[in-house]
């Protein structure tokens, strides 16, 4: 049987810096756990634009379609801010999501105990928090037609359309139910059925799937505005949340910040199953290219490392090894190792990107 494959697209800014640490971890799993992953690397975003004049070359897109998983660092930076919209670094990312048909965006919001003080909420509200938000990623308001800025009655009108088909709701809901089964078996579906027809349809479809195919999963429904309020009032009431593209964008950022730092947050985007039964998948930290700290060895590599842990779990069926890697990150934090983003201003000398990566490797060694 061939080894599992991974395409690394490190991208711009701190992307390549944090990816160096992930490469160390991939090598560790090959050497110490007999888990060899065939890695290829390529360019995306500004780095691809510099070389090819496009943020994602067709050859790179073709490679992404062939591998078991893609791991992306970050794209963008001030050097590319004035480029035409069609060739901006972010277009590379959007093309990957669209052509791989990555319709389910998984955003865990997990609060490591050692970092509970970093949340903007009281420690007791967030310590032990573990939420998974599943956001629909390829439809809804960001894609619906008609869209644009038009002239109407002598003034301009800006239009976007919230549009969902039953099958689009069905597939993301099934992904969420499956995930909920692997977690605490509770799913909260979020929309605004009180004021939006797309929300009424969303609720009907999710309810039907739940009753017919997932009766064991405890299903609840919540309006998006209430969900935002509940996330800051009592976030631990949630296990898995499924919602649309627009609400998911906002609610997942809100939930993410409960956990402290952008430098800790992984994500996964999953698509339709391939021949081997695994979904097409791209993993990436939630953060961007952080041009303010790029090249200084200050970036926290944990978000990217934890994104690789999600790849172990969802693309390579290596849940136990994913647990091992997550536990290693948790141990490093519990031992007090901190990059600058995880420290109060003026505290002791922070760990560099490389030192943080090395500490995770040491914790992995200690796990054997
Ligand atoms: P950002 O996430 O890059 O940075 C926001 C703040 O968080 C900065 O102060 C940064 O130093 C800090 N930060 C982010 N990641 C960190 C890490 N791993 N360790 C320590 N500190 C970290 O967001 P931004 O500043 O709004 O955007 C910068 C560029 O990144 C822009 O060009 C933007 O378009 C792009 N961007 C890309 C993605 C992506 O590739 N998925 C996502 C968001 C933004």
Give tens-digit pLDDT for 48-89.
999 999 999 999 999 999 999 999 999 999 999 999 988 999
Q: Give the model's pLDDT for residue 343.
A: 84
What is the C-alpha separation between 317 and 74, in angstroms, rounded? 25
Told to judge if 142 belongs to the known catalytic residues of this protein, a careful annotator would answer: yes
Please give the pLDDT value at position 86: 87
Mean pLDDT over each residue of the chain, to the nearest integer: 94
Question: 67 φ, ψ to 5°?
Answer: -80, 165
Q: What pLDDT score does 349 carry?
A: 87
Residue 253 appears among annotated catalytic residues: yes
Lowest mean pLDDT among 66-70, 141-145, 236-240, 325-329: 141-145
Q: Is 77 in the pocket of ligand 1 (CB under 6 A)?
A: yes
In CATH, the number for domain 1-105+264-368 is 3.40.718.10
Domain segments of the chain as ranges: 1-105+264-368, 130-258
Q: What is the pLDDT of residues 9-28, one digit of tens each?
A: 999 999 999 999 999 999 99
pLDDT tens digits along 190-231: 999 999 999 999 999 999 999 999 999 999 999 999 999 999
| pLDDT score at 279 | 86
Q: Which of 42, 68, 192, 280 is catalytic?
A: 192
| Annotated catalytic residue, options 27, 63, 130, 142 | 142
288 backbone φψ class: left, alpha, beta (φ>0; ψ -120 to 50): beta
Q: What are the C-alpha distances in Å from 61 to residues 66, 71, 228, 274?
A: 9, 13, 36, 16
The rounded distance, in Å, linking the Cα atoms of 163 and 153 is: 25
Q: Is the CB of 287 under 6 A from ligand 1?
A: yes
What average pLDDT does this structure show over 156-176? 97
Same fold, 1-105+264-368 and 130-258: yes
Residues 306-349: tens digit of each pLDDT: 999 999 999 999 999 999 999 999 999 999 999 999 887 666 78
Q: Catalytic one among 12, 249, 331, 341? A: 249
Of 71, 284, 289, the residue with max ligand 1 atoms within 8 A of its CB, to mutate for a pocket test, comes to: 289
Give the domain 130-258 fold.
Answer: Isopropylmalate Dehydrogenase (3.40.718)
pTM over the 0.85 mark:
yes
pLDDT of residue 98: 87
pLDDT at position 347 is: 66
- Residue by residue, DSSP assigns 277-331 as SPEEEEEEESS---TTTTTTT----HHHHHHHHHHHHHTS--HHHHHHHHHHHHH
Q: Which residue has the higher pLDDT, 94 or 17?
A: 17
Mean pLDDT, residues 111-115: 88
pLDDT of res. 91: 92
Q: Are 205 and 166 in contact (CB under 8 A)?
A: yes
């Amino acid at each position: 049987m061939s080894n599992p494959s991974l395409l690394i697209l490190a991208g711009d800014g701190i992307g390549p810096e944090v990816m160096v640490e992930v490469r160390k971890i991939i090598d560790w799993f090959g050497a110490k756990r007999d888990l060899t992953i065939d890695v290829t690397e390529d360019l995306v975003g500004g780095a691809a634009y510099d070389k090819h004049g496009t943020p994602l070359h067709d050859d790179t897109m073709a490679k992404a379609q062939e591998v078991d998983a893609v791991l992306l660092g970050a794209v963008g930076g001030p050097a590319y801010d004035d480029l035409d919209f069609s060739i901006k670094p972010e277009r590379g990312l959007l093309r990957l999501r669209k052509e791989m048909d990555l319709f389910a965006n998984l955003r865990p919001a997990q609060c490591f105990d050692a970092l509970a003080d970093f949340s903007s909420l009281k420690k007791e509200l967030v310590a032990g928090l573990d939420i998974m938000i599943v956001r629909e990623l390829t439809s809804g308001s960001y894609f619906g037609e008609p869209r644009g800025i038009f002239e109407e009655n002598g003034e301009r009108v800006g239009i976007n359309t919230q549009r969902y088909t039953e099958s689009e709701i069905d597939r993301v809901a099934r992904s969420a139910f499956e995930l909920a089964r692997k977690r605490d078996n509770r799913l909260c579906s979020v929309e605004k059925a009180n004021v939006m027809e797309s929300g009424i349809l969303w609720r009907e479809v999710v309810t039907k799937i739940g009753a017919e195919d997932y009766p064991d999963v405890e299903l609840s429904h919540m309006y998006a505005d209430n969900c935002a309020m509940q996330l800051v009032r009592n976030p631990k009431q949630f296990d898995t949340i499924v919602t649309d593209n627009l609400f998911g964008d906002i609610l997942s950022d809100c939930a993410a910040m409960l956990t402290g730092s952008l430098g800790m947050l992984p994500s996964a985007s999953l698509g339709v199953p391939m021949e081997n039964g695994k979904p097409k998948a791209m993993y990436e930290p939630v953060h961007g290219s952080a041009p303010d700290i790029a090249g200084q060895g200050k970036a926290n590599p944990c978000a990217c490392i934890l994104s690789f842990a999600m790849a172990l779990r969802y693309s390579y069926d290596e849940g136990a090894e994913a647990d091992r890697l997550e536990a290693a990150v948790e141990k490093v934090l519990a031992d007090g190792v901190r990059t600058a983003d995880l420290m109060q201003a003026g505290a002791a000398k922070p760990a560099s990107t490389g030192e943080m990566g090395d500490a995770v490797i040491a914790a992995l060694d200690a796990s054997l």
